[in-house]
Amino acid sequence: MKLIKILLLFVVFQISAQQGGMWIPSLLEGMNEQEMLNLGSNLSANDIYDINNSSLKDAIVHFNGGCTSEIISDSGLLLTNHHCGYGAIQSHSSVEHDYLQDGFWAQQINDELPNKGMVATLIIRIDDVTQEILQNIPSSLSPKDKLKMIDQNMAKVKAKAEKDDWQETRVKSMYDGNQYLLFVTETFKDIRLVGAPPTSIGKFGSDTDNWMWPRHTGDFSLFRIYADKNNRPATYNEANVPYQPKHFLPVSLDGVTENDFTLVFGFPGRTSEYLPAVAIDQLMHNINPPKIEIREEALKIVDQYMREDDKIKIQYASKYARIANYWKKWIGENQGLEKSNAVAKKKAFEAQFQEKVKDNKDYANLLSEFDKLYADIDNVAVARAYWSEIVYRNIEILNAAVRLFQFERQLIKNPEKFEEARKKLLDSYKGFYKNYNADVDRDVFEKLMQLYKDKSPANYLTSSVKDGNVKDLSKMVYEESKLSSLEGMETLLQGSKEEVIQKINSDKGYAFGKELVDNYYEQINPKFNEINLQINAVQKIYMKALVETFPDERFFPDANGTLRVTYGKVKGYNPRDAVYYEPVSYLEGVMEKYKPGDYEFDVPKKLQELYNNKDYGVYGIDGKMPVNFIGTNHTTGGNSGSPVIDADGNLIGLNFDRVWEGTMSDYNYDPEICRNIMVDARYILFIIDKFAGSQRLIDEMKLVHPKKK
């Protein structure tokens, strides 16, 4: 990978509209630094990442594993999305004080609410350890044995890494295993809820507006990192104090205009930008369509029940949102891949590649190997998609059976842990059945089982599904089994270890679930893994070949949950012929969408008043209140809550979504139509100050006017 670095360094880089890429913060010097300057930034690579001095990276925090957040005061005030804090906000809510509906604002520091199990992680240092990881691995080894050795080397590198006692280490593979980086991290464990707007602001537009522009959502919430008296990570303790960061982001009051430089700094989860055409083709035509169809059928049924029954509406709101989120994303993704001719473009590129490598014996067969392997994996990959969407995700009772299966397996392995495991399982079932309705689930079961039977590859179906009748199966699972209620489950789990094993195994519903889970672990998964391992091995060589063959191209490592920098400009786009989308939305648009009493588009009275009086304080501009804006930053899931930073290192926005036409960016980033969606920092300040009246929070931030130098 030294090679990659050197190649990147010597590329004579031309400024163009071409952006995209998620770059490693410790490797920005050279090409990225120059490109950022060309885009209008005043930041040096060292301003962004520096291990000797404080830098922007010291304010960027991985939020509870999945999202990003950033520190915006010298007292550890943490900003992230409302949808990232959603679970925590919900967990503090009850009928008496519903913080989802009404919002929550800690009046004083003592009112800030601890969250059990919540963590926030800072990156202390990133080291390139490729040499240590890849040295002495014979190329003759099988892919499996290579991975084993790599794991051993990783453990060694982690063990001897320089760090303080309270810090952790992780090694992550980049460029499909061509580069390895060591991350030294610090994980804080006392994270308290500070503030959240009501859902009618924080989730305004809900599923209808999700993945869409124009957008009008105040998708933010506030937390605070607490540390022990030495400013180090500690589990919750009343005596803990606000964390004093090495760096925090000042908040700009000057806002954005089209073409302004933007930098998004966060923890993108996963992209696959270097797949061969054959893989994209398979995704578009064989994998995404069944997943979309399955979720569509399930959502239709749940939606019907939710409309007719308020209790079901509450029970299923969060589950519905989760299922709908990726359902909608895949539809947009497929449309985008189709419209941008992603497969044809990749094929044209591959023809060029093939021409260049035709005499290189290591690379000449890569594409044909891909063709063969993707053909081999197709059947089992489709079966796996059906299984995970139907058995694991959308038929809830089968998901309950999966958990029971895992419990039983554990029991056989560690019988002495029976009591502990049973308690854990029962606890998890309590949460599960609280939001469970067997009538809803039974309808979903009947619909999806029929689909499974009719459409999933027959060679991976179990005999009950293949030969059985769906009505009979559902009668068995919902009437002749104890799985459909918490009480039933509790009776199954009562008694001694032997009794429990005997009882669950004579339950017909569990027997059916177990047959399906067994089928996955015995048939589907091993076959899939066997071929996938080979695909990964070819992908690793292909990645190396790409970099060597196209020295003038830019290659960033696919997202893998590690800290990345992406940058671009504030910019509108043409979603279709003759239509242009402006890059900034305003409070006017909130009022245009307002539907009194609607669960997605209601607007709080107070916000309407502020709008009617144009009472925007210092946050509005020309009598208008900006709400959201879009830009050309290349982001993905996990970037939610990432700070949007201006040319001088100040916070101007909060990333939370992407536009419909560009959700394909995970496979094919196209600067023409891929846009990320951000909340304008001024809207956040306006809601905290004017809407919530939480002056104490405004006071602890550092508000700046970078454009009025």
Interface contacts to ligand ASP, rule CB under 6 A: 635-640, 656-658
* CA 520/CA 533 separation, integer angstroms: 17
Q: Which is nearer to ligand ASP, 146 or 329 (CB)?
A: 329
Q: Choose, by CB under 6 A, the member of 57, 62, 83, 569 that binds ligand ARG.
A: 83
Binds 207: which of ligand ASP, ligand ARG, none (CB < 5-8 Å by kind):
ligand ARG
* CA 533/CA 150 separation, integer angstroms: 14
Tracing tokens 């709008």 back to the chain, one arrives at 611
* CA 542/CA 529 separation, integer angstroms: 19
Contact 574, 267 (CB under 8 A): no
Q: Nearest approach, Cβ of 323 to ligand ASP (angstroms)? A: 15
Contact 569, 259 (CB under 8 A): yes
Q: Nearest approach, Cβ of 279 to ligand ASP (angstroms)? A: 20
Q: Which is nearer to ligand ASP, 78 or 477 (CB)?
A: 78
Q: Which is nearer to ligand ASP, 202 or 637 (CB)?
A: 637
Binds 176: which of ligand ASP, ligand ARG, none (CB < 5-8 Å by kind):
none
CA torsion 398→65→181→154, rounded to 10°? -50
Alpha helices, DSSP H only, in 555-660?
587-593, 605-612
Binds 210: which of ligand ASP, ligand ARG, none (CB < 5-8 Å by kind):
ligand ARG
Q: Is 392 helix (H, G, I), strand (E, B) or coil?
A: helix
Of the residues 41, 200, 640, 665, which is catalytic? Answer: 640
Contact 563, 25 (CB under 8 A): yes
Q: Which is nearer to ligand ARG, 68 or 640 (CB)?
A: 640
Q: Is 625 helix (H, G, I), strand (E, B) or coil?
A: coil
Q: C-alpha angle with apex 591: 588 to 597, nearest 5 degrees?
A: 165
Report DSSP state, residue 517.
H
Q: Which is nearer to ligand ASP, 346 or 658 (CB)?
A: 658
If one asks whether residue 206 binds ligand ARG (CB under 6 A), the answer comes out as yes
Instruction: Please indicate whether residue 82 is annotated as part of the active site.
Output: no
If one asks whether residue 317 binds ligand ARG (CB under 6 A), the answer comes out as no
Binds 321: which of ligand ASP, ligand ARG, none (CB < 5-8 Å by kind):
ligand ARG
Binds 636: which of ligand ASP, ligand ARG, none (CB < 5-8 Å by kind):
ligand ASP
Q: Nearest approach, Cβ of 83 to ligand ARG (angstroms)? A: 4
Contact 158, 169 (CB under 8 A): yes
Q: Which among 525, 291, 528, 519 has a CA at the least distance from the CA of 405?
A: 519
Q: Is 125 helix (H, G, I), strand (E, B) or coil?
A: strand
Ranges of beta strands (E only) in 93-154 are 104-105, 113-114, 120-128
Binds 206: which of ligand ASP, ligand ARG, none (CB < 5-8 Å by kind):
ligand ARG
* CA 622/CA 620 separation, integer angstroms: 7
Q: Nearest approach, Cβ of 493 to ligand ARG (angstroms)? A: 33
Binds 650: which of ligand ARG, ligand ASP, none (CB < 5-8 Å by kind):
none
Task: Tell me which amino acid residue 539 is.
Answer: Q
Binds 216: which of ligand ASP, ligand ARG, none (CB < 5-8 Å by kind):
none
Binds 223: which of ligand ARG, ligand ASP, none (CB < 5-8 Å by kind):
none
DSSP-assigned beta bridge partners for residue 266: 564
* CA 479/CA 520 separation, integer angstroms: 25
Instruction: Please indicate whether residue 219 is annotated as part of the active site.
Output: yes
Q: Which is nearer to ligand ASP, 562 or 639 (CB)?
A: 639
Number of shown-chain residues binding ligand ARG (CB under 6 A): 10
Q: Which is nearer to ligand ASP, 67 or 546 (CB)?
A: 67
Instruction: Please indicate whether residue 83 is annotated as part of the active site.
Output: yes
* HEC sequence for 613-666: CCCCHHHCECCECEEEEEECCCCCCCCCCCEEECCCCCEEEEEEEECHHHHHHH
Q: Which is nearer to ligand ASP, 637 or 643 (CB)?
A: 637
Q: Which among 213, 219, 351 has a CA at the least distance from the CA of 277?
A: 351
If one asks whether residue 640 binds ligand ARG (CB under 6 A), the answer comes out as yes
Q: Which is nearer to ligand ASP, 43 or 222 (CB)?
A: 222
3-state DSSP: the chain helix, strand, coil percent, rounded to 5?
50, 15, 35
Ranges of beta strands (E only) in 241-337 are 241-242, 251-252, 261-266
Of the residues 55, 73, 75, 83, which is catalytic? Answer: 83
* CA 411/CA 418 separation, integer angstroms: 6
Binds 282: which of ligand ARG, ligand ASP, none (CB < 5-8 Å by kind):
none
With contacts defined by CB under 6 A, name the span among 102-110, 115-123, 184-192, 207-215 that binds ligand ARG: 207-215
By residue count, the chain amounts to 709
If one asks whether residue 321 binds ligand ARG (CB under 6 A), the answer comes out as yes
* CA 73/CA 71 separation, integer angstroms: 6
Q: Choose, by CB under 6 A, the member of 210, 252, 315, 539 that binds ligand ARG.
A: 210
If one asks whether residue 325 binds ligand ARG (CB under 6 A), the answer comes out as yes
Binds 635: which of ligand ARG, ligand ASP, none (CB < 5-8 Å by kind):
ligand ASP
Task: Tell me which amino acid residue 670 is.
Answer: D
* HEC sequence for 404-443: HHHHHHHHHHCHHHHHHHHHHHHHHHHHHHHCCCHHHHHH
Binding mask 266-305 for ligand ARG (x = CB under 6 A): ----------------------------------------
Binds 638: which of ligand ARG, ligand ASP, none (CB < 5-8 Å by kind):
ligand ASP
Phi, psi (rounded to 5 degrees) for 154? -60, -45
Q: How many other β-carbons are positioned within 10 Å of the β-carbon of residue 382? A: 19
Of the residues 219, 443, 507, 689, which is catalytic? Answer: 219
Q: Which among 554, 579, 411 has a CA at the least distance from the CA of 20?
A: 554
Q: Nearest approach, Cβ of 225 to ligand ARG (angstroms)? A: 23
If one asks whether residue 58 binds ligand ARG (CB under 6 A), the answer comes out as no
Closest residue to ligand ASP, Cβ-based?
640
If one asks whether residue 207 binds ligand ARG (CB under 6 A), the answer comes out as yes
Q: Which is nearer to ligand ASP, 443 or 657 (CB)?
A: 657
Ramachandran assignment for 215, one of left (phi > 0), alpha (psi -120 to 50 degrees), beta (any other): beta
If one asks whether residue 177 binds ligand ARG (CB under 6 A), the answer comes out as no
If one asks whether residue 115 binds ligand ARG (CB under 6 A), the answer comes out as no
Q: Nearest approach, Cβ of 685 to ligand ARG (angstroms)? A: 22
Token reading at 667: 């496979």
Token reading at 527: 């076959």
Q: Which is nearer to ligand ARG, 452 or 629 (CB)?
A: 629
- The β-bridge relationship of strands 676-680 and 67-71 is unpaired
Q: Which is nearer to ligand ASP, 130 or 633 (CB)?
A: 633
With contacts defined by CB under 6 A, name the span among 103-111, 206-214, 376-384, 513-521 that binds ligand ARG: 206-214
If one asks whether residue 221 binds ligand ARG (CB under 6 A), the answer comes out as no
CA torsion 262→267→268→269, rounded to 10°? -170
If one asks whether residue 637 binds ligand ARG (CB under 6 A), the answer comes out as yes
Contact 683, 218 (CB under 8 A): yes
Active site residues: 83, 219, 640
- Contact residues for ligand ARG, defined by CB under 6 A: 83, 206-207, 210-211, 321, 325, 637, 640, 657
